[in-house]
Chains A and B, each alone.
Chain A
Amino acid sequence: MPDLSINFCGVRSPNPFWLASGPPTNTAYQIMRAFDAGWGGAVWKTIGEPIINTASRYGSVDLKTERMMGLNNIELISDRSIETNLREIAEVKKRFPLHTVIASLMVESKRETWHDIVKRTEDSGADLLELNFGCPHGMSERGMGAAVGQVPEYATMITTWVKEVARTPVIVKLTPNVTDIAHMAKAAKAGGADAVSLVNTFNSIVGVDLNNFSPRPAVAGRGSHGGYCGPAVKPIALHMVSSVAKTVDIPISGIGGIGNWRDAVEFMLLGSTSVQVCTAAMHYGFRIVRDMIDGLENYLEEKGFASAMDIVGKSTPQVDDWGNLDLNYKIIAKIDAEKCIGCNLCYIACEDGAHQCIRVEERPLGDLRHDVLPKHVPHVLEDECVGCNLCALVCPVPDCITMVEVDSGRPHMSWRQLQEARGKSPQCSMEDLLAGKNGS
């Protein structure tokens, strides 16, 4: 049985599945329900001077019948007093000593205020601290959250203040609303952060009401930009995690659209030690963790990994610069005529959206009253196919279109190598250089 437990900055957590700071982690009641359900840890909803929230607070993006592909919120940090939150943290730790409780903190940018909150929180028994430098709405207007996380000097400064007094490891939660998140991770590390968590939510307007012209979610006919999260942001978050993992040597807690064990594994492969979940729990409840645990366990077992820690960063070496990719690697699309149902989506996608390498005859008129409808299978012009994947991506039938490797008979040649070869043999044609011939 693979070991699902992780070691995060010296803190052992029963599994890598943590609830992210947000509505599901507002109270001890919720967090204890979550731990009962199987979550390994929870980041407490950000503690600070209590705020007053609006109604409404959430807006979402649906995709046909799929609800909440993306979720946006304008909710602020905890609306409960610091004392209440800290007392409840202590309660949870007493009931669940082996589970990981992370206290998310956000106070005004004053050294003493930060010193004070850090000390009080540690007294409550929290295992880790997470500094919320990411909240993109509301709090940022008050000089907190993303207002800190978007300025590397501020981030370093406040992290330094916290580290002056902290005895527990400190995670800095990063906002994605910056040009280079790895730069912000470096800033956090410069301040002494033990780890980073990313990403916080993206600045967003989730939609506009076509009837009353109000942005959503609306508060009495007005709206404000909110923070976007959920499945829709996962690819962006994955890239940001990998970018930090490649450039900064620091443990990462990955966040952004994680809803199942597969998502979690992807984040871990790209460098996350733990993963944090919010939208999926808001959508389906804490019970989703059961399959996350089971799925991860089965995956590790099938792949022969003894511990969840073994997959952390496993993909990082394979994330490379475009300039190092092999230009001579060739694949082409193959359509399985047996499986093909004749929707022609591959044809039209290639014709209008890609490289015009699929042909299909016009479909004849006819219905079942007169004869059997002919099966209508497009075919790939293999010499033209550039191997872009689009047809396979749009094909609605599993494994009907596969991309098959073709031996180009040429050596590995990346753009960088090509540039180098060109410098050495400027007289050679590009074609020759690609083929590995340098004229000598």
Chain B
Amino acid sequence: MSNDAAPKLALEQLEKNFADINPPLSPGQALEEGSRCLFCHDAPCIKACPTAIDVPQFIRQILTGNLRGSAKTILEANILGQSCARVCPTSVLCEGACVLNIEGKKPVEIGRLQRYAVDPVIANGIQLFKARASNGYRVALIGGGPASLACAAALRRLGYEAVIFDANPQPGGLDTYGIAAYKMRAQDVLKEIEMISALGVEIRRGVKVGSDISIAQLERDYDAVFIGVGLGATEVLRIPGEELKGCMDALSFIEETKSKSLNQVQVAKRVAVIGGGNTAIDVVTAARRLGAEEVYMVYRRGPEEMSAFEYEYELAKKDSVTFVWQASPVRVIGDANGRVNALECIRTRKGAKDARGRSSFVHEPGTEFRLDVEMVVKALGQERNTQFLGQIAQLELKNGCIAVDSQTMCTANPRYFAGGDCVNGGGEVVDAVAHGKKAAAGIHHMLEASRGRKAHA
């Protein structure tokens, strides 16, 4: 790709391009923004937060200068409050629910205020919570993403031993590896996870359950198991040329921007990104910011049907991305060296609506066209992880996701609980945290009940 690589930008420029998209509030800004909060009773922002953070309360605590109390209010409800402050799609959650919207005013910037309160606590390593004395129970958690982290932290606070098995070298799952760098740096997440480790959560890194440690052994050694494995690999296109050098999946690309120095990340001069979701936006913006000169976002439907959030779309527009709507890739074309040098697409038109209300699409014969690109990134969503989940006895799957009781997050196998993307098919960090919290309560309830039974017997 050397000839076709985008000219390398200086590290300084790259750092600037990937600088915090939503920089922290100054004390003056926080005071002004916080003052806009009406302190609603039974506030809609709380109701719209999957983890039910008491938003008016934490904002009031910022205003009274009780920053530590504010952070505690947030983290009590959402142990990954630092991540969520940065990556939550607040415009459809808390901020979308803010009553000021109804009056045609800007909603209170809850995400940034949350960051204002939580950042100093995380940065200074202040430990706000304590583990309760051991109750003798041990819980294994498979996967080290937000769901497991939230579940483990809650379990420690209830006195459980909690051991996370994570296949990756660093914990955090997509929170660490899958969030656009200008939203959050990996080191911020790791600092947040340190707080959870400090609660006594054990994180075994680089351990793959099923190969490095057997499921049977987990069942022997632990009283309950939480599954927070997320989803599988990026879906494949099933078109010719997918194996060519320069054709890669979105998560690997984002992971590179998160695990390497930005000047170590390769990007081509011209890039085509396939997909219309938030991940596709992360990729197009990252590619532009890394120095790609022409970036296409190829989507088989129109802008109105993109699953990406409005503000994400705006971001891509600002980064001067070329949108190729109503187009479907048919072939990746390579050069003599087996490197990508074009993507062939075909125009699509809308077909009948599917059950979710989204249009199907039909190829228009004879409308094929080529995009000259040296890199193709697939942002198609992730496959279900059915292979791994199939190894666990009695687990019930629905559309490839684990079926759970929505209150306890207990699976069809009563010793297994689950949460996060492997349950909802792909959601926000805050949804995963909510699942983890619920599951911890569910596990607690189950084990306490069985202790009661034992005591009776």
Contacts and interface: CB of A to CB of B under 8 A. Distances in A.
Nearest to A63: B35
A342 interface: yes
Given A343-B99, A363-B47, A397-B103, A348 B31 contact: no
B47 A345 contact: no
A367 B50 CA distance: 9
A7 B68 CA distance: 59
Interface stretch (B12-20, B36-44, B112-120, B411-419): B36-44
Most buried by B among A360, A375, A376: A376
Interface string A363-387: 1111111000101100000000000
Interface string A335-346: 000000111110
Given A364-B47, A369-B93, A373-B44, A342 B99 contact: yes
Most buried by A among B31, B41, B93: B41
B227 to A, nearest CB: 24
A17 interface: no
20 contacts: A65-B32, A341-B99, A341-B102, A342-B99, A343-B40, A343-B43, A343-B99, A344-B41, A344-B42, A345-B38, A345-B41, A360-B42, A363-B47, A364-B47, A367-B47, A367-B48, A367-B94, A368-B93, A369-B93, A375-B102
A396 B102 CA distance: 12
A261 interface: no
Contacts of A342: 40, 44, 99, 102
Interface residues of B, number: 26
Nearest 6 A-B pairs (CB), nearest first? A344-B41, A348-B41, A367-B48, A64-B35, A341-B102, A368-B92
B48 A366 contact: yes
Contacts of A64: 31, 35, 63
A189 to B, nearest CB: 46
User: Which DSSP category, helix, strand, loop or mixed, fits chain A's interface?
Assistant: loop
A341 B63 contact: no
Contacts of B93: 367-369
Nearest to B31: A65
Interface of A: 64-65, 341-345, 347-348, 360, 362-369, 373, 375-376, 396-397
A64 B63 CA distance: 7
Nearest to A364: B47
A342 B101 CA distance: 11
B35 A65 contact: yes
A366 B102 contact: no
Given A343-B43, A367-B48, A369-B93, 19 more contacts: A65-B31, A65-B32, A341-B103, A342-B102, A343-B38, A344-B41, A360-B42, A362-B42, A365-B47, A367-B47, A367-B50, A367-B92, A367-B94, A367-B96, A367-B97, A368-B97, A373-B44, A373-B97, A396-B38
A44 B138 CA distance: 80
Contacts of A344: 40-43
A363 B92 contact: no
B361 to A, nearest CB: 24
Contacts of A369: 89, 92-93
Interface in B77-108: 89, 91-94, 96-97, 99-100, 102-103
B333 to A, nearest CB: 38
A347 B63 CA distance: 23
Given A343-B38, A373-B97, A363 B102 contact: no
Contacts of B63: 64
Nearest to B65: A210
A68 to B, nearest CB: 15
Contacts of B100: 341
Nearest to B96: A368
B103 to A, nearest CB: 5
Given A64-B63, A341-B100, A363 B39 contact: no
A228 to B, nearest CB: 22
Interface string B241-273: 000000000000000000000000000000000
A345 B44 contact: no
Contacts of A367: 47-50, 92-94, 96-97
A345 B41 CA distance: 6
A330 B102 CA distance: 32
B66 to A, nearest CB: 12
A364 B47 CA distance: 7
A56 to B, nearest CB: 21
Contacts of A365: 47-48
Interface string B32-62: 1001001111111001111000000000000
A365 B93 CA distance: 11
B52 to A, nearest CB: 8
A194 to B, nearest CB: 46
Nearest to B92: A368
Contacts of A345: 38-41
Nearest to A64: B35
A178 B288 CA distance: 72
A363 B44 contact: yes
Contact of B44 (A65, A348, A360, A376): A376
A363 B43 CA distance: 8
Nearest to B103: A341
Contacts of A362: 42
Contacts of B43: 343-344, 363
Contacts of B35: 64-65
A373 B42 contact: no
Contacts of B39: 345
A368 B38 CA distance: 20
B37 to A, nearest CB: 10
A253 B207 CA distance: 83
A65 B35 CA distance: 7
A345 B38 CA distance: 8
A342 B100 CA distance: 9
Nearest to A66: B35
Contacts of B49: 367
B48 A373 contact: yes
A368 B99 contact: no
A366 B50 CA distance: 8
B51 to A, nearest CB: 12
A360 B99 CA distance: 16
B106 to A, nearest CB: 13
B419 to A, nearest CB: 17
A376 B42 CA distance: 10
Nearest to B63: A64
